[in-house]
A and B are shown apart, each in its own frame.
Chain A
Amino acid sequence: MRYQAPESLDAAVALLAGAQGEARVLAGGTDLLVQLRADLVDPELIVDIKKIREARTVAEERGGWRIGAAVTGAELKENTRLKQDWPGVVEAANLIGSTQIQGRATLGGNLCNGSPAADSVPALIAAGATAAVVGPRGRRDVPVEDVMIGPRKLSLTKGELIASFFLPPRGRGAADAYLRFIPRTEMDIAVVGVGINLALDGAGTITTARVSLGAVAEKVLLVPEAAQAIVGSRLDDAAQERLAAQARRACRPIDDKRGTIDFRIDVAGVLARRVASIAYERARLR
């Protein structure tokens, strides 16, 4: 098994594109090393992207934010202005695992691991984030909801990797939030995850919204019907009920060791209501 730590995106792309056997990108390693140890993967090449500037930088850009794919959850939490603009994205990244995991886990790794239960992905999708994908044929921006197409299946092709994410300008009167359900208080994989991003007008009416559900389908879902359920409302009880119903309808979960189908559907509705309330309160304060 070879290990390389290129210092530029071009070098990383060349390594990945030119690999004979399986090549894996290493950012925080909190998924890759577990899989290596469990003999679930046996790559011929590991490409460590932590020496690549774009992958490690958080910076404001065109009113929004560019976040490197290999920036850790802990580093995101320490960025006060990012936390003010996108509390949902930051709290989602900081629910992954434990303090130790957050010291290493990254948005890029969390997305590219391809688990529909990934905590940061619903928040990124709700935020309308795009992934900057670089590869042998150049650079393209992909909405995050189009990156993961199934369990462990990404829409990236050989040689491509995610260099960074772009969060659009936040604007006033808008905010996001993320909650997940786990049986303990920490450490578990999300049984259901909900990310909601919404914007209000001066009267407190929701003008736009994005609702994303995790761990309830074979990929993380963007649910326009759930968003529509609350647009035009002030998140009164009836709107919340519509939201919950649409969230439940969108689920197509499985029974597994973490939750049953019925449970996931019920809790998706419950969390959708709770997350919307938090996002709404935050938006009102902005």
Chain B
Amino acid sequence: MATMLTTATDLPQTYVGTRTVRPDGVDKVTGRARFGADFNLPGQLVGRVLRSPHAHARIVSIDTSKAEKLPGVKAVVTRDDFADQPSEFIPAGEMMINYRDMVRNILAREKVLYEGHAVAAVAATSVAIAKRALKLIEVEYEVLPPVIDVMDAMKPGAPVLHEDLFTVGVEPKPDKPSNIAKRVEIAQGDIDAGFSKADVIVEREFKTQPVHQGYIEPHATLASVSEDGSAEVWCTTQGHFIVRAHCARLLGMDIGKVRVTASEIGGGFGGKTVVYLEPLAVALSKKAKRPVKMVMSREEVFKASGPTSGAHVKVKMGATKGGRFVAAYAELRYQAGAFQGSPVQPGVMCAFAPYDIDNVKVIGYDVVSNRPKVAAYRAPGAPISEFAVESVVDELAKKLDIDPVELRLQNAAREGTKAAYGPKFGPIGLIDTLHAVRKTDHYTTPLEDWQGRGVASGFWFNIGGETCVSLTVNEDGTVSLMAGTPDIGGLRASLAMVAADELGVPYDKVRPIIGDTGSLGFNFLTGGSRSAFSGSMAVVEAARQIKADLCRRAAKLWEVPVDQIEFEGGSVRPVGDAATKAKPMSVADMAKVAGKTGGPIGGYGRINAQGAGPSFGTHLVDVAVDPETGRVTVLRYTMAQDAGRAVHPSYVEGQYQGGAAQGIGWALNEEYIYGPDGKLQNAGFLDYRMPVASDVPMIDAIIVEVPNPRHPYGVRGVGETPIVPPMAAIANAIENATGIRFTDLPMSPPKVLKALKERCRNKV
């Protein structure tokens, strides 16, 4: 239920906006906090997965009999242990899911569709026995040619992954299956008329590779199924209610019989919004009648959990010589991995969203190929399309001889702009972030030879969603707060601050925890930059209930009409004619007499949060290019992003800096490298090169606040936008340093050196 909101400015705020120490912090700095692999139960078994060595093959037969007979093996599961699921698309926040695909992803049925695709799982009394058992499972494959790259997968004659996949969104409907799952399009105005008005047109093609979310904690779960068929699951996840829903559905269990506890989560970034091990662990535990613990190795994480799409993008933009964008066109081809569902739709929606352009057309294709099924990765789809667009905007700026920030200011979306993907923007902060960046000392610091500066902006729309928070006032006036979205980086602190300010109690008297699925109503997952936004809304609602209840109790206690009672500054007090009837009582005072006044005091905020506000950001980066080796060094990084209202500024800055660092890796060194056999060659942190501490400078994070009028405090989600601008900002900086426009990510040294040498040769 939506709440009608007061504006942020008239609420008393002691904590919101300050830098408190997070309540779960001590456990994390002492090693006490328990992550997914830190749980153990007596009698537990080790679960391991047998994975396909082939990128594409038909499964002819699976024989687990030898494995089942090995002493110490207590259970084996294959596709036969999971009922098939009908095809049904379910919106799951930012991406769609289909159970028919999901049941095949957790264990292959007709075919294996990527190297690493799970084929069977065992539970045994030791790691050594589990490993031996996997070797005893005999799988007969009919190996098929794989297709990896998105353009190759779209070609007629490419190996087809699914015989029943017919492209949706094209007319006439195709009669032959292909790897193109769907075509989507948004449009406004008249694109051809728009281009005819352009004085300058830039058209470019871009290529990106799949990159992994790179969370340091591998997937891990512990499942225990009892004789009555009820299951307890501990797992590292961004959405334990989602895990519950998927396990219940895939295993044919009542939702109420599955209780999932979210452990502390060691990073997710979207990659832990899906299930891989959990249904297997539950199925194994059900068979073995003992708890089963399963943890992925790092190699399995890379090979068998979803990275984001690799893509091919074409962008064409036209502008008048005065700098007004008159037309914008893009074609996005995203590969989804083994099953359909790449984030091409949000990619299409976000591509030109930062700009006010009358004539826009964006087409997107969702394409399957023999790679792991993609999972969400921080603003899924947007970093790819906006990398391309922001690069083209930079080229336009150069051709028009207009400063790149100025060009963006002239065309920036603002309040009232209608985005090409549909909505009209409310108050938004893109212009503020552009100004903020331009005002910095970084913007005007002189550069040396072979150094360059680049700027880029970015956007993510953010979501709200179903959220439940319970607030309980304990007998001594302390407050227990139970939220239902896993805390991936500071949520508990933010919610506790909001609760403390709402109820007028000291911050350290609020104890926040993340409840399991048995303790709260449905919570959508932590993602979409929604947990602080929606969670705080639910806290406000729960606090509102408590405050109203305290007024009713005081009315009874003081024998005063309830309309002469107010809650203010942490106390209930009589006002008006009754003002002298009683002294104010704090929350703690009221807690002491809770029993006498009706029983335990609590509030339960159950909402489907609406009104999420988009967050815009602008990044500024300086790079140095070594012309003899092609190595790019990031010298300086400044970013400004609109948070609406930063509940905890340090954690908002943290989101900004973390997303920027991921973007730096995506820009310069991260990519999935495949051999011609369709096998992943760099399935480890050695050769999947994420930024280390010496690779990045300090990242100056500027919080801009344009309050979101649809949130009681003005909060906007912030977690995803930070990863959107970095790749283009760095590509623009490299162009500024070298005069060469790179359109192919990552911009790794061999590519940069090759381009520099080719330019030398062409000049001669």
Contacts and interface: CB of A to CB of B under 8 A. Distances in A.
B750 A263 contact: yes
Given A184-B669, A185-B695, A263 B754 contact: yes
Interface stretch (A103-111, A142-150, A252-260): A252-260
B230 interface: no
A38 B299 contact: yes
B698 to A, nearest CB: 15
Interface in A191-244: 191
A187 B686 contact: yes
Contacts of B682: 257
A60 interface: no
A253 to B, nearest CB: 12
A263 B753 CA distance: 7
B749 interface: yes
B686 A189 contact: yes
A263 B626 CA distance: 14
A184 B689 contact: yes
A191 B631 CA distance: 12
Contacts of B633: 185
B691 interface: yes
- Which of A186, A189, A263 has the most chain B CB atoms inside 10 A of its CB? A263
A136 B131 CA distance: 37
B692 A186 contact: yes
B689 A266 contact: no
Contacts of B748: 183
Main secondary structure of the interface of B (DSSP, over half): loop
- Which of B628, B681, B682, B754 has the most chain A CB atoms inside 10 A of its CB? B628
A123 B299 CA distance: 32
Nearest to B627: A270
A181 interface: yes
B749 A186 contact: no
B641 to A, nearest CB: 26
A262 interface: yes
A228 to B, nearest CB: 23
Nearest to A269: B628
Contacts of A183: 631, 668-669, 689, 748-749
B686 A188 contact: yes
Interface string A34-56: 00001100000000000000000
Given A266-B753, A266-B757, A184 B686 contact: no
A76 interface: no
Contacts of A39: 131
Contacts of A266: 628-629, 753, 757
Interface in B625-644: 628-631, 633
Contacts of B695: 184-186
Contacts of A258: 687
Contacts of B673: 257
A272 B289 CA distance: 64
Contacts of B580: none
A263 B682 CA distance: 19
- Which of A181, A183, A189, A262 has the most chain B CB atoms inside 10 A of its CB? A183
Given A184-B669, A267-B629, A257 B687 contact: yes
A189 B749 CA distance: 14
Interface residue range, chain B: 20 to 34
Nearest to A255: B750
A184 B754 contact: no
Interface in B349-387: none
A257 B694 CA distance: 22
Interface in B598-633: 628-631, 633
Contacts of A263: 630, 749-750, 753-754
- Which of B668, B687, B691, B750 has the most chain A CB atoms inside 10 A of its CB? B750
Given A183-B689, A186-B694, A257 B299 contact: no
A189 B668 CA distance: 17
Contacts of A184: 669, 689, 691-692, 694-695
A79 to B, nearest CB: 24
B624 to A, nearest CB: 12
B681 A257 contact: yes
Interface in B119-134: 131
- Which of A184, A186, A187, A259 has the most chain B CB atoms inside 10 A of its CB? A184
Contacts of B630: 263
Contacts of B299: 38
Nearest to A98: B692
Interface string B655-698: 00000000000001100010000000110001101011011000
A267 to B, nearest CB: 5
B692 A185 contact: yes
A266 B629 CA distance: 8
A259 B751 CA distance: 10
A181 B749 CA distance: 10
Interface string A257-283: 111101100110010000000000000
A11 B318 CA distance: 78
A119 to B, nearest CB: 14
Contacts of B631: 181, 183
Contacts of A38: 299
Interface in A126-150: none
A282 B668 CA distance: 34
Interface in B732-764: 748-750, 753-754, 757
A189 B630 CA distance: 17
A143 to B, nearest CB: 30
A215 B31 CA distance: 40
Given A38-B299, A188-B689, A189-B686, A181 B750 contact: no
Contacts of A267: 628-629, 753
A185 to B, nearest CB: 4
A190 to B, nearest CB: 12
A266 B626 CA distance: 13
A187 to B, nearest CB: 5
A259 B689 contact: no
Contacts of B754: 260, 262-263
- Which of B629, B749, B757 has the most chain A CB atoms inside 10 A of its CB? B629
Contacts of B750: 259-260, 262-263
A286 to B, nearest CB: 28
Nearest to B685: A187
A42 to B, nearest CB: 11
Contacts of B757: 266
Contacts of A262: 750, 754
A184 to B, nearest CB: 5
Interface in B687-711: 687, 689, 691-692, 694-695
A185 B691 CA distance: 9
A270 B629 CA distance: 8
14 contacts: A39-B131, A183-B749, A184-B689, A184-B691, A184-B694, A185-B695, A188-B686, A188-B689, A257-B673, A263-B630, A263-B753, A266-B753, A267-B753, A270-B629
Interface of B: 131, 299, 628-631, 633, 668-669, 673, 681-682, 686-687, 689, 691-692, 694-695, 748-750, 753-754, 757
Given A189-B686, A189-B687, 12 more contacts: A181-B629, A181-B631, A183-B689, A185-B692, A185-B695, A186-B692, A257-B681, A260-B754, A263-B749, A263-B750, A266-B753, A270-B628
- The 8 A-B residue pairs with the shortest CB-CB distance, nearest first, are A263-B750, A185-B694, A270-B628, A257-B673, A257-B681, A260-B750, A257-B682, A185-B695
